[in-house]
Amino acid sequence: MFQLFQYQFIQNAFLAGSFVAIVAAFVGYFLLTRGLTFAGHALSHIGFAGAAGALVLGIDPVFGLLLFTVMASVGIGFLGKQLRERDITIGVIMTLMLGLGALFLSLYTGYAERAYSILFGTVLGISRGDVLVTAAFSIVTLFLLLAIFRPLLFSSFDPEVAEARGVPIRFLAILFLILVAITVSMSVQVVGVLLIFTLLVGPAATATRLVTQPLVAIAIAVVLGLFYTWLGIFFAINGTWPVSFYIAAISFFVYLPVRIFSPAQKTYV
């Protein structure tokens, strides 16, 4: 089985998948503690319009994704929590963006195949160039997350006290959402716009059910994320079923027993 790794597309898939899994699990932990999982889901859908628009213009979809998700995350960050019916407003923005994506797709003459790969991921079709872009953005995101780690954790668990202590919570919230946007854009390559949840929230949701200490939870989430991604790519190479199905299924069936059998006192959401 190890001769598989001689193929460049498999090396690329594993490299990009690993970077994405690590960053997504790390960011996912904070998404969960901040109760922003729906926003993460929405960001990926908003990114779809950007990716489809980039296809029409003939640019790499990753840059369209980055542009739209970063803009949307700044918007969501400024709207803040005060906005009434936040979920409905995010839902409407998401719907508008998906409609826009549908429009761009109809303008794009290559149509269905590329659209499909944005929606459900194409980790096996990733190029060495994409791997480098993914690696660069992942390392920058991880570095920034580590730099703001303590104040971010503080403001996630107790925003009022953090603010009273002089932590710039507004700035942290917006910076964090921008990091989420970058992570979402990277993850789309692996699992696609529609299955972001499986890599972004799945590992962290399982980890926070198992342990309470933030560092241990993040470590477990990263390990789980890598495990889902590697196993998913491995199965997909050896079988005929798509990678994103395997990742979604593994993520779900690891979460399910943990969710059912873990003590229920911990609820972040």
Partner 1 sequence: MFEIFHQTFVQNAFLAGTVIAIVSAVIGYFVVLRSQAFAAHALSHIGFAGATGAALLGTSSLLGMFSFTLLAAFGMGALGKRIRGRDVEIGMILSFALGLGVLFLRLYTNSASEAVGVLFGSILSVTRGDVLLTLFFGVVSLVILTALFRPLVFVSIDPEVAEARGVRVQLLGIIFMLLLAVTVAEAIQVVGVLLVFALLIVPAAVAQHLTHKLFHTFFLSIVLGLLFTWGGLLLAFLTPYPVSFYIAGLAALTYFAAINLSHVFAPHREEITRHPGREVRWK
Integer Cα distance of 41 and 62 in angstroms: 17
Residue 95 interacting with partner 1 (CB under 8 A): yes
Fill in the amino acid letter for 115: A
- Give the interface segment with partner 1, choosing from 9-17, 19-27, 61-69, 97-105 (CB under 8 A): 97-105
Q: Which two tokens stand for residue 64?
A: 């369209």
Q: Residue 212, Cα to own-chain centre: how many angstroms?
A: 22
Rounded Cα distance between 52 and 104, Å, is 6
* Binders of partner 1 in range 125-184 (CB under 8 A): none
Q: Taking CB under 8 A as the criterion, which residues in 194-233 touch partner 1?
A: 194-195, 197-198, 201-202, 205
> Looking only at residues 61 through 90 of this chain, which bind partner 1 when binding is defined by CB under 8 A?
85, 87-89
Q: Does 238 interact with partner 1 (rule: CB under 8 A)?
A: no
Instruction: Confirm or reject binding of residue 98 to partner 1 (CB under 8 A).
Output: yes
The beta-strand segments (E) located in 124-174 are: none
Confirm or reject binding of residue 242 to partner 1 (CB under 8 A): yes
Residue 31's identity, in one-letter code, is L
Contacts of 226 by beta carbon, 8 Å cutoff, 6+ apart: 18, 21, 22, 25
122 interacts with partner 1 by CB under 8 A:
no
What's the CA gap between 237 and 223, in Å, rounded? 21
Residue closer to partner 1, measured from CB, 38 or 151: 38
Does position 103 interact with partner 1 (CB under 8 A)? The reply is: yes
In the list 115, 124, 177, 186, the residue contacting partner 1 (rule: CB under 8 A) is 115
Burial class (CB in 10 A: 0-12, 13-18, 19+), 262: middle
Angle between helices 214-238 and 8-33 (to 10 degrees): 150
Q: Note the residues at the interface with partner 1 (CB under 8 A).
A: 32, 35, 37-38, 41, 45, 85, 87-89, 91-96, 98-100, 102-103, 105-107, 111-113, 115-116, 119-120, 194-195, 197-198, 201-202, 205, 240-242, 244-245, 247-249, 251-252, 255-256, 259, 269
